[in-house]
Amino acid sequence: MTRGFLSDVLAKWKRFRWQGLVKVWAVFMAIALVLLVESLGVHYGATRFDITYLDRAKAIPAANAIAGQKATNLLVVDSSQEGVSDAEAMLDQILLDMKVPTTTVDVADENAEFPALNHYSTIVVAMPNLDRLGEHVLQIMQWVKKGGGVMFAMTPEKTGYLDVIGPQIGIESSTYEYVATEGITPSEDFMLGGGRHTRSVTRSNRR
């Protein structure tokens, strides 16, 4: 009797027109069952911990942290040039935050003595017109060749001294006039969208 019942059910199943949907439903139910069993067997727990903040009384200000240390950086400025004072104030704060002991020399001060470069590992030049450095520009370049590091914090102006050191700092060519370009094409490995030409559009406010 059981065999007859199974044969009857099998015959009805073969005549059932929605067999494909039932099979898909069965697969989804099996997946749901597996996920349910898995979730029931996984338990989550959070580790409790406390964050201990440094006592304000024990915190050492940056100025105190570098006080008494030998200066490793030389900041060269010319306060007579426009914008240099603002740049100097910004650089002073940045170097303080980075805890970099720094000596500042102002070439606008005739009484200021330019220090020996071998006492420092880095130099930051903050002035657009490098002619005020005079022969010190060549000294800095010779010092860089021996392993020193120099950074120009302000865009150098086109001057005779810049022409002399230009090839040494990566300037292949320069001119006294501004040149308008139609666009730029960054190299493919430089940034997202590299290799594509970007046109620049100049708008006029004249009416």
Q: What is the CATH number of the domain that holds 100?
A: 3.40.50
Summarised one tens digit per residue, pLDDT across range 88-120 is: 999 999 999 889 999 999 999 888 889 999 999
Q: What does the block give as tokens for 182?
A: 């139609």
Residue 122 lies in a domain: yes
Residues whose CB is less than 8 angstroms from the CB of residue 88 and which lie 6 or more positions away in sequence, other chains included: 75, 77, 79, 104, 126
Residue 173 lies in a domain: yes
Lowest mean pLDDT among 18-27, 64-73, 195-204: 195-204
Summarised one tens digit per residue, pLDDT across range 112-154 is: 889 999 999 999 999 999 888 888 988 998 998 888 899 999 9
> What average pLDDT does this structure show over 163-187?
73
| Residues forming beta bridges with residue 76, ordered by sequence position | 105, 125
Residue 17 lies in a domain: no
Q: Count CB neighbours of 125 within 10 A.
A: 22
Q: Number of folded domains in the chain?
A: 1
Query: Which structural domain, as residue segments, surrounds residue 153?
Result: 68-180
> The whole model's pTM is what?
0.57
Residue 192 lies in a domain: no
Q: 94 and 101 in contact (C-beta within 8 Å)?
A: no
Between 16 and 80, residue with greater pLDDT: 80
